[in-house]
Structure 1
Amino acid sequence: MDSIAAGPVAPITLSDDGVYVAQVNNKDLIVHLNPTSSEFRDVHVVKVKENAPKFLKFSRALHLSPGEIQNEQVSVPRRLLYASDTRIQVWQLNPLQSLAEIEGIEPGALNIDFGGDENEIIVFHAWNTKITIYGLDTGRSQVIKAPKFAHGNGFGYRPKTREFAVLLKPDANDLLTLHNFRTYELINRAVLPTVDAQGLKWSPDGRWIVIWDAASAGTKVLIFTADGQLFRTYTGIPGTDASLDLGVRGLEWSPPSPANGASEFLAIGKVDGSVEILTCKTNSPRIWRERLVAADGNLEYADSSSSSAFNTIPEPSNPPRGVSTIAFSADAQLIATIDQTRPNIVWIWELEPVAVLMSALVHEHAVRQALWHPSKIQLVVTTVNNTGAAVRSWSPYTQPSITRVPVPRNETGRYDLRWISLDRDDKQRFWLGSHDDYILGFLDQEDGGLQFQSLHHINNKVPAGSYGANTSR
């Protein structure tokens, strides 16, 4: 674990994109705002309160796609941080002007840098007792205790959406925690099956977090989904002699592919000098989160693959463990699973040519059923909620949808669905209801979305002789 305070910074510091240069000369801070110009003519000099700073950092450049750069859709101010052992000063660039000052910093900080954006300052305190994140625009500060490392391999911000992942060492076990951007509320925590975790790295596409164990543990690489769920453990090439495995020295993700925006390869550098490359081309599932449409009160699925981490519902005090649902599609090429530690998420896997995660459906309530159509490649999902009946439909060919079904509200929130397995057309009929009320119908494309078309309604409280003919809407 880090325990030695940083020394004075180098006399010259460059920004990560090479656009800015800063120099320190006694109490003069010299900033070149346009070093690409001839003779560095755009130079500003400001006086600082202390010489020999411990940290001098530029805020990180915003990496944009060629289209965003061309259209100038995003403009982010760049800033410069100057930190001594007790004080932090921040300047705005272009033009250079003082922006903020934080005094009373505890001596011995191991690292001070910008946080998730240019409005955050993150401080790793001496002996890794805690992390303090200061909001320059809010004036508030937040604390995370017991970081394992202060260097860049111990923490990271998710690309674009900037959720914060950090390795902690509160006791004998390594711990991974994920926090929301700006609020730093806890999203998830995972106790790691590691001997001595050495670092973590987000994939550049923001879909994966990789953690590697100490070399003494042999090859052990853990790949987590963006919400902190363990997806895969890699322990080396199958069939190799584990006694000769000298372990992992470091690793690196490939940049996002221009074709699909995914980081397709993970290169693992071994202590023995070899490099093993994992392909991640199939590790790019579509993540869909259930959300309420404010305009009409209906529900819909929103694509969350590259925007935000998963929501998981609170666990009961003694949750059942393990996989509670395993359902194969009609052609046996897809499988849907539900893990009771995260009962609101349906995981959809493709089995050929190798088993890979294809998609995930994240809901506000626990899933009650996940049922494949008997002959078509279509999955329907019901959840336990007493706000009203709805059918959630997924197929690999279209965007998933959530459709309200007009059956009476059930206080228990438990609605059962059953497919009609002997359909002679493509209407894919099903029953949905609970206790005293069931309705038969199908989902039909109408007005740009799926609508439920009712065929029959059965109410157990109505005498059998009272039923008349029901027609579809």
Structure 2
Amino acid sequence: MDSSTGSLRPMELRVSDDGLYAAHMRGKDLAVFWKLAAERKEIDLERLKSNGLKTIKFTPTQTYDPDGPFSEKNRRLLTHQVVSVTIWKFHPLEQLAEIQNIEPESLYVDFGGNENEVLVFHNWNTKLTIYSLSAERSIVIKSPKLAHSLGYGYRPKTKQLAILLKPETTDILTVHESQSYDLVNRTVLPTVDAQGLKWSPDGKWIAVWDIASAGTKVLIFTADGQLFRTYPNASGSEDENDTGVRQIEWSPVIGHNGTSEILAVCKVNGNIELLRTHTFSSSTVLSHVFQVDSTTPRIWRERSTNALGDAEYTETSSSSAFNMSADSSAGTHRSASIVTFNADGTLLATVDSTKSNVVWIWSLEGTPTLTSALVHEQPVRQLTWNPSTSQLLINTVTNNLPSVRYWSPQSQPMIARVPTKKSDSGRYEVKWLTVPDQRFLVEPSFDYIHDSPFWFGSSEEWVVGYLSEEGGTAYFKVINSIVNSP
């Protein structure tokens, strides 16, 4: 379900950030589904003018937030065909605007800072064109470095644009005003090959990280593009064993001050360095090497319960759980392949590339410690926290029955078979569905605190449902389904 720079696979489903809407092609019709957590889903159909659909995208949740996180009036859908982009509004589904005669080889198309802006990254990264539907004009930024979401970002709430450029041999960071895109600041970066940028969720900082072969280098800029810190300190001694940075991740906004307090720097050696944002110095190093001590975490291991492929978690000793060989597909370098904070920033879930079947769950309250680990038979494909509670869905690559794995600090982890079509690829996707009000409830007694609904699916079929436990066995109860067929 992630954004793709290539063509949309036939009948592939796209789901909005909050999971409340879904869309796919049904023959030549664009089909949009909503009220998916209710007993009867709604559907709108609209015939597309031509074929060659490449992308379907919903407005990101944060772009339609002026009247609350679930305001409908600014929600939009984008369809990218070979040489055109169409913007749709809902209720009823109607074409709102169309951008024609774009380059057929465009690399990436997405919404901009709001629902009335469209970004088109042109072939060979020659330029980025920003189309303003409300102002009926376009703005060009030349030589974007990366034609995907790590190459640019909009500041939360105020929507200034930060973007990496590479007009010649050096990397450049520019910051632009919201809507007008007037230049705020331009900085030549001391990087070998910048890999991406990310705004902090509180909008105070922009972080840029360099290629791993250049060693550890993370540049911290203020919101107006002024260099504030370099991590590690540029005056420090060189470390010959420094393997560099693979990725970074900010913690969510928490506390009365509304700040993002941690920047996780994921190293190629598998360690994760946690930087406190008031100093941007390392406070803790998390290592994916299990050590037996007095605070041994609870370790759970997946085991089959029958010949059909059903499974459950059983608690096991640390020695047996971690007595496994490294994943040879990870290559010679280690890294944290998945790093994700829960909603309030108190927990961090990670997967190490050399042990891709293990989920590590760290408590960040006080001194960070490993609180639990879950060991699976197959590699972990996806981790996703509930948007408001500490519930974690674990999605593994499986050639057996479609199933989902669940962890929370309040209960024993569960594995539940999902009654949906088996995917030949063994690759499924999961996404939490946010239920904003009573309009979407199945019944008044339905408890969305403990039985939060979510999507589970593949290219064949998607279902919306929730987990329930009866007699010590976990079940997935289906609310609605969408079959990907013409």
Residues 140-169 of structure 1: CA distance to partner in whole angstroms, max 9, x if unpaired? 011000000011100000000000000000
Structure 1 residues 119, 239: closer, same or farther in 2, change over 3 A?
A: closer
Which of 182, 204, 208 is 1:207 aligned to?
204
Query: d(CA) in 2 for partners of 1:45 and 1:141?
Result: 30
Verify the 8 A CA contact 1:218 1:248 in the aligned structure 2.
yes
Partner of 1:162: 159
**Closer/same/farther in 2, CA of residues 190 and 239 from structure 1, 3 Å limit:** closer
State the Cα distance separating 1:237 from its structure 2 match: 11
Contact 1:218 1:245 in 2 (8 A): yes
In the alignment, structure 1 residue 177 sits paired with structure 2 residue 174: yes
The SS at the match of 1:62 is helix
Tell me, yes or no, if the aligned pair for 1:77 and 1:93 is still in contact at 8 Å: no
Whether the 8 Å CA contact 1:62–1:76 is kept in 2: the answer is no
Shift of 1:5: 6.0
Letter aligned with residue 47 of structure 2: K
* Contact residue 58 and residue 80 of structure 1 kept, 8 A: yes
2:85 is the counterpart of 1:88: yes
Separation (CA, whole Å) in 2 of partners of 1:118 and 1:82? 13
SS in 1 for 2:99: strand
**Hey, what does 2:13 align to over in structure 1?**
12
6-15 or 247-256: bigger deviation: 6-15
Q: 1:87 touches 1:105 (CA, 8 Å); kept in 2?
A: yes
Matched ranges for 1:89-128 at <5 A: 89-128=86-125
Q: How does 1:61-460 map to 2 (within 5 A)?
A: 61-62=61-62, 69=68, 76-235=73-232, 242-281=239-278
Q: Which runs of 5+ in 1 are unaligned?
A: 284-473
CA distance in 1, matches of 2:216, 2:15: 35
Distance in 2 between the 1:89 and 1:63 partners?
18
Supply the distance in 2 between the matched residues of 1:139 and 1:64 (Cα, whole angstroms). 20
Residue of structure 2 equivalent to 1:25: 26
C-alpha separation in 2, matches of 1:102 and 1:137: 13
For 1:58, the equivalent position in structure 2 comes to 58
Partner Cα separation in structure 1 for residue 235 and residue 91 of structure 2: 55
Q: CA 1:176–1:239 in structure 2 vs 1: closer, same or farther (change >3 Å)?
A: closer
Q: CA RMSD in A?
A: 2.5
What amino acid sits opposite 2:199 in the alignment? W
What is the deviation of 1:8? 2.5
- Distance of 1:122 and 1:100 partners within structure 2: 14
Q: Which has the higher contact order (CA 8 A, sep 6+)?
A: 2
Aligned length: 276
Stretches of 4+ aligned residues off by more than 6 angstroms: 236-241
Contact 2:63 2:113 in 1 (8 A): no
User: Residue deviations 1:378-405, cap 9 Å, x none?
Assistant: xxxxxxxxxxxxxxxxxxxxxxxxxxxx
Q: Tell me, in whole angstroms, the C-alpha distance in 2 between the residues paired with 1:185 and 1:9.
A: 38
Match of 1:49 in 2: 49
TM-score, normalised to structure 1's length?
0.55
Cα distance in 2, alignment partners of residues 8 and 64 from structure 1: 25
- The CA distance in 1 between the partners of 2:80 and 2:63, in whole Å, is 26
Distance 1:259 1:239 in 2: 35
**Separation of aligned partners in 1, 2:234 and 2:145:** 29
- 2:63 and 2:114 in contact (8 A); partners too: no
1:176 & 1:45 partners in 2: Cα distance? 42
* Residue identity matched to 1:186: L
Query: Helix, strand or coil for the counterpart of 1:244?
Result: coil
The one-letter amino acid of 2:90's match is L
**Structure-2 change in CA distance of 1:52 and 1:25 (3 Å):** farther
2:110, 2:118 within 8 Å by CA — same for their partners in 1?
Answer: yes
Tell me which moved more, 23-32 or 113-122.
23-32
d(CA) in 2 for partners of 1:281 and 1:63? 28
* Contact preservation (8 Å) 1:200, 1:212: yes
Aligned amino acid, residue 29 of structure 1: L
Q: Between the two proteins, what is the percent identity of the paired residues? A: 50
8 Å CA contact retained: 1:9, 1:53: no
Is the alpha carbon distance of 1:241 and 1:227 closer, same or farther for their aligned partners in structure 2, counting shifts above 3 Å? closer
Is the 2:263–2:274 Cα contact (8 Å) retained in structure 1?
Answer: yes
Matches of 2:237 and 2:32, distance apart in 1: 54
Rg comparison, structure with higher value: 1
Q: CA deviation at 1:192?
A: 0.1
**Unaligned stretches of 5+ residues in structure 2:** 281-486
Q: Deviations over 1:171-202 (max 9, x none)?
A: 11000001111111101000000000000000
Cα displacement string for residues 51-92 of structure 1 (whole angstroms, at most 9, x for unaligned residues): 341111001113899x9749x9x6641000001120111110
Return the letter of the residue paired with 2:45: V
Corresponding residue for residue 421 of structure 1? none
